[in-house]
Amino acid sequence: MILKINQLSLDSISGVLFIAVLSSLIIFPQALGFSKGRVGSFTMPSIRLFQLNTMDEDDDSSAADEKKDGLSIAKQRRVRFFASLPQVKFQQKKLYFGDETDKDIVKTTIPNMLNYMVIPIVACVDTFWVGRLGDALALAGQSAAQQAFFTIYLLVSFIPNILAPSVASAISSGNVKEAQNRVKEALFLAIFLGAIGTVLLAFFPKFSLNMMVLSRDAPAMEYAVPYLRLRALALIPALVTSTGFAAFRGLLDTVTPLKVSLAANLFNLIADPLLIFGVAGPLGAFIKGIGVRGAAIAISGSQTLSGIVFLNLLLRKKLVTLRGIFELPSWKRLRPLIVGGFTVLIRQLALNVAFLTPLSKAQSIDPSGVQAAAYGIVNQIYSIGTVCNIAMQSSAAALVPSARAKGGDDAARKIADRAFAWGTIIGTVIAILQFSALPFILPLFSTLPEVQEAVKVPALISCFVQLANGPLFAGEGVMLGLECFRDLMFSTGIGVIVMYGCLSSPLGKNLNGILFSMLVFNVYRAFAMVAHYFKIGPLSLDRTTRKVN
């Protein structure tokens, strides 16, 4: 019986991967060297992956392409590879680490990294305190409500994703007025869409949870509904924070957002235990613990504080005015932002499916809530490492368009190559650190032995997911910076199909299989990012050569 199930799993995975590869050839035909003919049909010259040395009918042209500045194609590849690595020099008995490109990347990535890490660390603290209640259903309910909140948040926060590259490009080219207009329009849309999301989550929490995460009669619904209703109050402030953060990234200022994030989340760290458990002694009559709802109030309060501070900073930087926030932009101004954001929105929808489907599967595995609680813990641990890679994504999304506006494609390619190298290094280091820390941190999240046992193997699989995240997030940052939103949408959509196929197989019937499906999802997307960058992206040398020819 076991052999039969395993064979079925392998057959399902093989079928899904075959469909994914076939879909990739349809969507990215240029990735295998196909070119579009004049009559609109695809012609098939010899396949050239990463500038392989093959000859077609134009022997003279191909021979000329094989040499550039006296270097063979193989030599060019080696030179480019070593140039992409972080630079280390030893001069006058001193070790010098990094050139100007490395310094630019590190200067923007480290504050980004710390800023992004604050959020999941605080979320882990929330999970820690809720776990101290000793109720697996409370932990599962909080996890479900958090996922529902972030689903709506990600759905309506597509505008900030394209704001940073726009601001960076405008500032680098000296067009300050354009940057101000983009920030104003992004804030207007963030508040408008946030208001719609707030009404949905705050007034219809059970409907929202049922549509996205939990079944109508799920035991965890009792805890998830009040948490989500209170959590929804911070949706607009969270979107204002995201917009402000994107605007400062476009200015290549990542230190100011870090300071705001630290101050706001310090409030959450202090308020969490007080509101969940209350205060002993004379103050106990005034500050009483309210359980899971206290965690929702604490994190909502911190995000509201952050939104107010960011709005004040944008006003002081004169990137926006109070009148401008509530002034309805013209359709002529909004149209490029909405059209450009539409493909990002579709990608966000695909990512939401990717986030919600594993959670829904985990919630339905057993009625006790043990597997769902274990998945929530794995998700919290995994997210701490993931945000480091997201920091590289954000840095690449701002640095690449800035370099391109100042120095053209060659300057942008240099930054992008180095971003891929740094991303791969960061992903590897995170995977090693997470693997080493698992025996020490897993027991902290729950006092229940069955939850501690259920979380071990899934947490181990998540370490391998971190390895793929390095080139994946670096590549996504480059694509965002180059405004390749459509191709990014396609690659994400195909990845979701791959993961959904895995989850529909017997892999989706246990927590280990769910995490393995996530691994397949991220590995496929990482491959797509690398193939796009080197073969068909705006900075691809193959594409440049084809244009010249």
Top pLDDT among 308 and 283 is at 308
Q: What is the pLDDT of residue 285?
A: 58
Looking at the predicted structure, is the pLDDT value of residue 35 above 60?
Answer: no
Residue 380: how many other CB atoms lie within 10 Å: 21
Q: What is the pLDDT of residue 172?
A: 72
Cα dist from 275 to 128, 223, 296, whole Å: 14, 16, 9
Q: How far is residue 450 CA from its own chain's centroid? A: 31
Amino acid at 469: N
Assign 3 a pLDDT band (cuts: 50, 70, 90).
very low
- Does residue 280 sit in helix, strand or coil? coil
Separation between Cα atoms, residue 426 and residue 420, nearest integer Å:
10
For the stretch 83-90, contacts whose Cβ atoms lie closer than 8 Å and that sit 24 or more positions apart, written own/partner, are: 83/414, 83/417, 84/417, 84/418, 84/420, 84/421, 85/421, 86/418, 86/421, 86/422, 86/425
- Cβ-Cβ contacts under 8 Å for 91 (sequence gap 6 or more): none
The two tokens of residue 134 are 């000793």
Average pLDDT rounded to a whole number, residues 433-448: 83
What's the confidence (pLDDT) of residue 472? 93
- Which two three-digit tokens encode residue 232? 């929804």
Give the C-alpha separation, 174 to 135, whole Å: 56
pLDDT of residue 196: 93
User: String of b and e for 102-130 (b: at least 16 CB within 10 Å)?
Assistant: bebbbebbbbbbbbbbbbbbbbbbbbbbb
Grade residue 233 by pLDDT with cuts at 50, 70 and 90.
very high
Q: Which of 2, 228, 267 lies closest to 122 in space, CA to CA? A: 267
CB 236, CB 307: distance < 8 Å: yes
Q: Judge contact between 378 and 462, C-beta under 8 A.
A: yes
Q: What is the pLDDT of residues 443-486, one digit of tens each?
A: 887 778 888 888 888 888 888 999 999 999 999 989 988 888 88
Condensed to tens digits (0 to 9), the pLDDT of residues 136-191 reads 888 888 888 888 888 888 777 777 777 777 777 777 777 778 778 888 888 888 88
Q: For residues 140 and 135, give the distance between their C-alpha atoms in angstroms, rounded to a whole number.
A: 9
Q: How far apart are CA 87 and CA 102, in angstroms?
A: 7
Query: Encoding tokens for residue 28?
Result: 């990215």
Which is more confident, 432 or 485? 432
Residues 6+ apart with CB under 8 A from 492: 347, 350, 351, 354, 525
At 94, the pLDDT band (50, 70, 90 cuts) reads: low
Whether the full predicted model's pTM is greater than 0.85, yes or no, is no
Number of C-beta neighbours around residue 177 at 10 A = 9
Q: What percent of the chain has pLDDT over 90?
A: 12
Give the tens place of pLDDT for each residue, 237-277.
999 988 888 888 888 888 888 889 888 888 888 888 888 88
Residue 527: per-residue pLDDT: 92
Give Cα separations from 144 to 132, 149, 204, 372, 375 (angstroms): 18, 9, 15, 9, 10
Cα distance between residue 355 and residue 183, in whole Å: 29
Other C-beta atoms closer than 10 Å to the C-beta of 394 total: 27
191, 325 Cβ separation under 8 angstroms: yes
Tell the residue number behind the tokens 């941190």, with chain if given: 441
DSSP, res 536: I
Q: Tokens 């300057």 identify what position?
A: 411
The answer on pLDDT for 203 being more than 90 is yes
Residue 28, pLDDT > 70, answer no
| Mean pLDDT calculated for residue range 15-20 | 44
Residue 107 has pLDDT above 50, yes or no: yes
Which band of pLDDT confidence, cut at 50, 70 and 90, is reported for residue 199? Answer: very high
| Range of weakest confidence among 205-214, 332-341, 369-378, 413-422 | 332-341
Of 441 and 521, the one with more pLDDT? 521
Average pLDDT over residues 52-61: 40
Please state the φ and ψ torsions of residue 34, each to the nearest 5 degrees. -75, 145
pLDDT at 91: 63
Tokens of 343: 């493909």
pLDDT tens string 474-517 = 999 899 888 888 888 888 999 999 998 888 888 888 888 898 99
Q: What is the mean pLDDT of the chain?
A: 77
| Tens digits of residue pLDDT in 211-229 | 887 888 888 888 899 999 9
